[in-house]
Amino acid sequence: EDQVTQSPEALRLQEGESSSLNCSYTVSGLRGLFWYRQDPGKGPEFLFTLYSAGEEKEKERLKATLTKKESFLHITAPKPEDSATYLCAVQTSQGGSEKLVFGKGTKLTVNP
């Protein structure tokens, strides 16, 4: 069964304190790995898609990386506005290409 596990469940950082969020996955056929950001009471906002091991993508203070078993979302010098829940999802080739399997998310709080 396809599975996505995110850790930690919650993370508190001071402004400027860099860290990483982890997403480990077990899937039968990875088509892509997605990172989303979700603010309270809102829908997930798309951040990145990664397709193959070794791939990296960056956007402002965020950098996503991918290996054969996990992905990391690195946050460099975070600001309070980076506080949100970060969701990881994998797109699998089994059961239809439209299917995304989500993790429970990591709730990030950045204190000023």
42 binds another protein (CB under 8 A): yes
DSSP 82: G
Minimum CB separation of residue 57 from another protein in Å reads: 12
Quote the least distance from Cβ 104 to another protein, whole Å: 5
The span from the CA of 42 to the CA of 45, in Å, is 9
Burial label, 34 (beta-carbon count in 10 A; 0-12, 13-18, 19+): buried
CB proximity list for 77: less than 8 A, separation 6 or greater: 15, 16, 18, 61
Stretch that binds another protein, among 19-27, 34-42, 55-63, 64-72 (CB under 8 A): 34-42
Q: Does 59 bind another protein (CB under 8 A)?
A: no
43 is a site residue for another protein (CB under 8 A): yes
Taking CB under 8 A as the criterion, the residue among 21, 23, 30, 36 binding another protein is 36
